[in-house]
Amino acid sequence: GFAGVRRRLELRGQAAGVTVYDDFAHHPTAIRTTLDGLRRKVGAARILAVFEPRSNTMKRGDMAAQLPWSLEDADLSFCHAPPTLGWDAATVLAPLGDAACVRADIDALVQAVAATARPGDHVVCMSNGGFGGIHGKLLAALARG
């Protein structure tokens, strides 16, 4: 499967029964492919998708309309939407209803994910950058409970 391919569903750690992965997915088709692969792997377990629209195309919002489609395999979706983002993430993700959460800064996003995650969940953080060190912050927040 994904072994040996850097940043393709790479296991970053576990804390409080929650498994955290990193993935390079940075546009809707890649996000959907990643979540589909994880869904096949974890079966009925909850998947929490955490993503950062960081590439220029995503920042401009060219493919924003496809995001709800790309996130269908996730049980919950969390989007980092800084003020510099060129589109309204809350509006775009509105079709997902309560299953979507948008935060303007990484620490608030980490808190939202940590507060929602429960043992047995799989959290995949998707970005084409470092995502503000979210993996370590999230694992630390989960460990603190």
Domain presence at residue 137: yes
Domain presence at residue 5: no
3-state secondary structure of 144: helix
**Taking CA 118 as the corner, what is the angle to CA 83 and CA 28, rounded to the nearest 5 degrees?**
45
Domain presence at residue 54: yes
3-state secondary structure of 77: strand
Residue 65: what pLDDT?
94
Domain presence at residue 107: yes
**Strand (E) or helix (H) holding 13:** strand 10-15
Domain presence at residue 1: no
> Could you tell me the residue range of the domain that residue 81 belongs to?
10-144
**Which stretches of the chain score pLDDT less than 50?**
4
Task: Enter the DSSP assignment of 92.
Answer: H
Residue 50: what pLDDT?
98
Asked whether 23 and 38 are in contact (CB, 8 A), the reply is no
Domain presence at residue 4: no
Domain count, the chain: 1
The tokens for 99 are 């299953």
pTM value?
A: 0.94
Q: Which of 129, 61, 54, 130 is nearest to 90 (CA)?
A: 61
Domain presence at residue 2: no
What CATH number has the domain bearing residue 34?
3.90.190.20
**pLDDT digits 0-9 by tens, 103-141:** 999 999 999 999 999 999 999 999 998 999 999 999 999
**Taking CA 141 as the corner, what is the angle to CA 138 and CA 104, rounded to the nearest 5 degrees?**
60
Side-chain half-sphere exposure of 121, counting CA atoms within 13 A: 23
Domain presence at residue 118: yes
